Each structure stands twice: as structure tokens, then as C-alpha cells.
């Protein structure tokens, strides 16, 4: 990178552990691919102005990094952007309210004050409806500030918790570390949703954060099969995820067992696909029937695994 901030094709981008700095560097690098006119300067200005995440190390770091990325995008949003429909019929402001609503279920479970109205139920859809109604009288900037403050508080509280402590936001009991990876994935996906509509570059998380999220998604596969009503039947698959942050896992399709980094154990099928596409598939983005994956072994089982993958995703 030159002193004037320009990046030349093929030039190495220095590493950065701070997600906001890395966001800025990634956006500069992706400028070589030609973002929409004006988008680069808007997001760079926002990335420089955005607050640092509350936690940049430990199990909350992937979530903190995506919060920082979403905050940078929101800082660059114009008044017209805030009223654009992004996804699920929600405007950008309502989408942020949805993120705050789902985050608030985690906040309540770990003893952090919740944003918005008092929590009436430990359930995503009703909480989202309550939060969207609440922000109807607020400015977009207030909605953004409340969401960000709650996210920072979650990260700060998580820093003092054991990652294996079980919490049940939405009635689903998993370790707090896994729930924060779930929050990372949803924040990542909705940041991508918003960036696509608004027309901003979409830099990826750093590779270690992608890997942590991919590991979580691999470990979810037995549960998605169960939620979809598919029969894993004591079988197993080998999952190879390609690209930065990827890896290979041995995945027993039985919720009583846990996916682990591949140890060479026998499997019934092997699935190879892009790591980001796989994470987004688990998050409800992508069509399982046409999902691009290489399959060997029991093709029917592999299709069942991919078809069930989005079963636990929400709006």
C-alpha cells in the first residue's frame, strides 16, 4: 500500500487483528475489483470513524468483528439508504432493530440490560415485532446506537464468562461461545444483505473468524438434520470447506456425537464446497437443491445433509 492509501494489483495487504482496521484494509484491496462509484470512499470514511469493537480476542472476537463491520456500513448509510427495503420486507432501520432484538435474547440470558422495550418473551419473531414497533419513533442513528451499545455490552460480559456456559436464547440451549458464533453469522449475513442493496463493497471476515464460524456450522449439521426430520441413522460425512478459513471435519450425523477436525475415520459420504457459501447456506442463503458442492460416496445422504442445512436459520 502506498503512502497515499492506494493499493496496486498484486500488492500484499498488511495483516491487522483489529476488525475495523482489517475492514478498511480489505475494502481498499477489493477496490481493485471496482466497487460502485463513490462506495469505496463512503465505506472507508465510515470504517475510520467507527468505534473499535469491545472485544478483539477470545471467543467473542468473531461476533465483535462483524458488529464493527455492520457499524461501519451503517455509518456510511445515507438518509435514503435507511428507508430502503433490505430483506424480509424490512427497511435498513428495521433490519438493525431485528439484529438488536435477537441480540437482546442473548443479553437477557447473560445478565446484560436489553435494548428497546422490556423483554416479553424469549422468542425471536415476537421480540423482533416488538423492537420494530419500538424503533418506529426513533431516528436511525438512535436505533444504530442502541444496537451497537447492546452488542458491545454482550462482548464485554462474554469476556468474563466460561465459553462452555450454557444459555438458552430463543429456547435453544448451547454454550455461550456457540451462541455468539450464531450472532456472528447472522450479523455477517445481514451486513451482506444490506451492502448488496445499498451498493457497498462486502469485505469478508478475517480467516480465523471464518474458520470458527465454519466449525460451528459443521457441528450444527446433526441438529439441522434433526430439525428437518431427516434420519442421520448413525452415519457420518466428511466435510471439506475450501478457501480462507476452511478446513476438513468428520461429522457424525447424530446429536449425541460432535463433529471434529477430520481424523480419517470412515464416512458414508464426502462433501466439498466453498467455506463462505456453506456458512451462508446454514444461515438461510442459497438454494440447497442447486448448491455447488462436490460429492462422493452416498449421494442421497449428501443431498439430505445439504437440504437440511438451513433448517435452523431464521429471518
CATH code of the domain containing 161: 1.20.120.450
Question: Which cell goes with 169?
Answer: 436464547
Whether pLDDT at 39 is above 90: no
Strands 269-274 and 236-242: parallel
Q: In the structure, what pLDDT confidence band is assigned to residue 35 with cuts at 50, 70 and 90?
A: very low
Q: Which residues pair with 244 in a beta bridge?
A: none
Q: Look at residue 232 in the predicted model and tell me its pLDDT.
A: 87
Asked whether residue 198 falls in the same domain as residue 216, the answer is: no
Question: Dihedrals φ, ψ of 70, to 5°?
Answer: -65, -40
Asked whether residue 39 falls in the same domain as residue 78, the answer is: yes
Which residue, 205, 228, 248, sits at the end of a domain? 205
Element (H, E) at 315: none
- Count, in order, helices (H) and strands (E) of the chain: 11, 9
Asked whether residue 117 falls in the same domain as residue 181, the answer is: yes
- Residue 267 maps to a domain: yes
Element (H, E) at 276: helix 275-282
pLDDT in tens, 133-159: 999 999 999 999 999 999 999 999 999
How many of the other CB atoms lie within 10 Å of CB of 218?
24
Q: Name the residue among 129, 121, 119 with its Cα closest to residue 88.
A: 129
SS3 assignment, position 249: strand
Question: Which cell goes with 85?
Answer: 427495503
More confident residue, 172 or 34: 172
Q: In the structure, what pLDDT confidence band is assigned to residue 56 with cuts at 50, 70 and 90?
A: low
Question: Across all residues in the chain, what is the average pLDDT?
Answer: 86
Asked whether residue 144 falls in the same domain as residue 267, the answer is: no
- Residue 272 maps to a domain: yes
pLDDT in tens, 59-108: 999 999 999 999 999 999 999 999 999 999 999 999 999 999 999 999 99
Whether pLDDT at 2 is above 70: no
Domain containing 23: what range?
Answer: 19-205
Q: Look at residue 31 in the predicted model and tell me its pLDDT.
A: 37
pLDDT in tens, 241-272: 999 999 999 999 999 999 999 999 999 999 99
Amino acid at each position: 500500500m502506498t503512502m497515499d492509501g492506494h493499493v496496486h494489483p498484486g500488492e500484499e495487504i498488511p495483516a491487522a487483528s483489529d476488525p475495523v482496521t482489517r475492514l478498511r484494509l480489505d475494502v481498499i484491496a477489493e477496490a481493485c475489483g471496482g466497487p460502485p462509484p463513490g462506495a469505496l470512499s463512503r465505506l472507508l470514511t465510515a470504517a475510520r470513524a467507527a468505534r473499535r469493537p469491545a472485544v478483539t480476542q477470545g471467543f467473542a472476537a468473531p461476533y465483535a468483528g462483524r458488529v464493527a463491520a455492520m457499524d461501519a456500513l451503517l455509518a456510511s448509510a445515507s438518509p435514503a439508504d435507511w428507508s430502503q427495503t433490505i430483506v424480509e420486507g424490512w427497511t435498513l432501520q428495521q433490519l438493525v432493530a431485528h439484529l438488536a432484538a435477537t441480540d437482546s435474547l442473548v443479553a437477557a440470558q447473560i445478565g446484560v440490560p436489553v435494548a428497546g422495550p422490556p423483554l416479553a418473551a424469549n422468542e425471536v419473531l415476537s421480540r423482533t415485532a416488538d423492537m420494530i414497533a419500538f424503533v418506529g419513533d426513533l431516528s436511525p442513528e438512535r436505533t444504530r446506537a442502541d444496537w451497537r451499545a447492546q452488542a458491545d455490552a454482550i462482548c464485554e460480559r462474554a469476556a468474563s464468562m466460561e465459553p462452555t456456559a450454557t444459555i438458552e436464547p430463543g429456547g435453544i440451549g448451547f454454550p455461550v461461545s456457540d451462541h455468539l458464533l450464531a450472532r456472528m453469522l447472522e450479523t455477517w449475513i445481514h451486513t451482506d444483505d444490506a451492502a448488496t442493496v445499498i451498493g457497498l463493497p462486502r469485505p469478508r471476515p478475517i480467516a480465523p473468524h471464518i474458520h470458527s464460524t465454519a466449525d460451528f456450522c459443521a457441528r450444527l449439521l446433526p441438529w439441522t438434520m434433526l430439525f428437518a426430520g431427516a434420519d442421520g441413522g448413525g452415519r457420518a460425512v466428511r466435510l471439506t470447506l475450501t478457501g480462507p478459513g476452511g478446513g476438513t471435519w468428520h461429522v457424525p450425523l447424530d446429536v449425541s456425537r460432535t463433529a471434529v477436525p477430520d481424523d480419517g475415520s470412515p464416512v458414508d459420504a464426502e462433501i466439498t464446497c466453498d467455506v463462505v457459501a456453506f456458512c451462508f447456506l446454514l444461515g438461510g442463503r442459497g438454494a440447497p437443491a442447486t448448491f455447488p458442492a462436490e460429492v462422493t460416496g452416498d449421494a442421497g445422504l449428501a443431498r439430505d445433509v445439504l437440504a437440511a442445512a438451513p433448517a435452523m436459520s431464521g429471518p
